[in-house]
Structure 1
Amino acid sequence: MTDADDASDADPESLAERVRAGDLRLHELDDHADADAAAAARRLVVEGETDASLESIGNYGFPAERAESNIENMLGTVQVPVGVAGPVDVNGGAADGEAYLPLATTEGALLASVNRGCSVLSRAGGANARVLKSGMTRAPVFRVTDVVEAEALVSWVRDNTDRLAEAAESTTSHGEVLDVTPYVVGNSVYLRFRYDTKDAMGMNMATIATEAACDVVESETAAELVALSGNLCTDKKPAAINAVEGRGRTVTADVTIPREVVEERLHTTPGDIAELNTRKNLVGSAKAGSLGFNAHVANVVAAMFLATGQDEAQVVEGANAITTAEERDGDLYLSVSLASLEVGTVGGGTKLPTQSEALDVLGIRGGGDPAGSNADALAEYIAVGALAGELSLLSALASRHLSSAHAELGR
């Protein structure tokens, strides 16, 4: 191939024509041009076959090569509006002081609601937040002959946890095995590995490390690996085990708000909010068989996940939260506890330019000192944002202002 042919290959129209002719597939374009030219060629192909205009999708503000580890067959970007709520005072174990919370959403009135909650939290002296437990899990499933072999495998694992940890940790310079918990169902044995992944969300790290440990299990026992994930992890699915045992960060935020602040700023009373929370978030959720006992924690989790480059599918677990409220000496005590918030400040989507900037707003881009402190801080900021969102929505419902607020904002 001549230099002229190379130049022709890098032209988006020429590349698109080769795809149309069947000489290339969409995923092969990156082998023949830089990432931006390949994306432009894909847009031409898709526009021609669908009659869609991809002008806005193709108008993005960073080199496409920056996203090569995040997506395949890139066309461009979908731009979601980003706003900030706050500032809000946070008294956390890792997060401390005033912060603006970046949220990306297309839901009108969400930012206004969270912002109102943040204002009231700060007026009350700020919100407390603490990460109570941390650990990313992966649970492979093994096949054994019968329950006798299952019991033997469980005993072997308990006696050889150090060997499994050594094999797993040999694959990473950051991950650390915290524990390995066996579960038996007939002739299936699940081993739930839990890792300290520091500032990374750590799902890929845990998967690679667990595979190395599984090799040791297969070489030393009669068990056969069926799948590296046996769904007892549990990733990206609602699961009681995550609600009870936790996954990622288990984090709680709370606040005590003086009665006069509740009445003046929220136009309701501590008693009314507490009663509403019991009847709606606790009893109503129980009657519905819900795994989450809250008003709309998913809203804040999803918006902050999108803004900061988290795995958006893990909102399923991240919104697994319980909100409590009580009248205490005339004031309002409110808390929100998120059992399985899977977040990181390194790796994945956190490396993208816009998401990196959102992490800079919080001052927690990259690895923390000590390791893990930045991801802990992100978990605490999200918990405080969720607390603000719960406070605002519960107050709007208690004061019967929810529909009027949406009407006023034109949403």
Structure 2
Amino acid sequence: MPDSRHLHTLVQVVAGLALNVFPAIFIAIYARIAPIETQGFLALALAVGVYVAQLFNAFIVEGRLATPDAEGEPGLPGWVVLLSAAACGLLVIGPAVASSAVLMAGAIGVMTGLLMTRSIGVVTGEWKTEGFAASALIVASVIALWMADQHNPHCVRVLAVGALLAVVVRYRPRKAMPRMGFPPDVRRSSWVTAETAVVGAVQPAITSILLVMVGPAASVTFRVISTVAGALEPILAYGRYRLLAHGHRGELKAFVAVFTAGMVVVLVAAFGGVGSLIFGPAWQGVGVAAMLLACLWKAFMLVSTVPFAALRKAGKTVLVFWIRGASTVVYLAISVGFLMVWQSTAAIFLAFAVSEMITAVVYHCAAVRGAPDYAAAFGMRRLRQRLGQ
């Protein structure tokens, strides 16, 4: 059927959006039941949780994708399920407003399970399973948010159970990776993990700086805006994995179209009342300028994703590491400089947009030289051919 591919893409993207549901609803619940100091620490815990999850995902999943001669499809290691179950268990057995240690451990375990299962689902193309997992998490999140409005102490427990279901539904014991997921090429996976570690450090670092310099309210606002704009991240991740697995040919147009549609939906929902409905009191500090700048930042990430994936697919893991390392320095330097001058969340997202635009230019120049397929499609020779037509 001609529409089957579009249906699969839609389900995969919606399933990716569900990945962002857990931190969004967790913040929304705590905005209703927890003091602002605990909300500020939760924002930091979720940033750290996403960061650690990205490291595991980079070493096991992305490192495998960056190994051209790796055999077989990736599967979920059993220890990831156990880690997620333990993290969810902490949130279930404890009080609704948990201690700092439980929040940190819970965020790390849950986000690791959700991100890794999501990444493997994209690569393997099991769209039906992704749909079931996303549905479980979304339904549990809606129920948990309603319970939080009623100040029901079981709201966090329901959210945790939904997250665990989203992980367990995707687990296939017979398809688990050999050697507990240990990558076939440790050196290459280490470079991929190192570059992810360097880039991923920006979010927890900025969240910590905001928490110290401006206060917990600003930290929560930053996390709320990042989470809303992060609804576009699953689309970027989906496109990145498709580009890594299949190259840009035949994938790019659909990628751009879905991203554009996603950005329109996010902005309409955010400014149409959905943001305040979901996040409640935590939405009060969100400004229009900051939200628009956050979406502009994600748009520049779309531009940089294409040459980045081309370099990664070509096996240029060392080169990508150094580019991403330099990009992180640029991000932190510009962000801290803007924050010291304006001390606002809008300044942070403006800095992010400028930094990503610089990064995109660097990736393009490197891919033209180091990725033949990309150079053939986007190099100067191809550009002259198009202009000459």
Asked whether the two chains share a fold, i.e. TM above 0.5, the reply is no
Bigger radius of gyration among the two? 1
Greater relative contact order (CA < 8 Å, ≥ 6 in sequence):
2
Q: TM-score range by the shorter chain?
A: under 0.3
Higher strand share: 1
Higher helix share: 2
TM-score, normalized by length of structure 2? Answer: 0.22
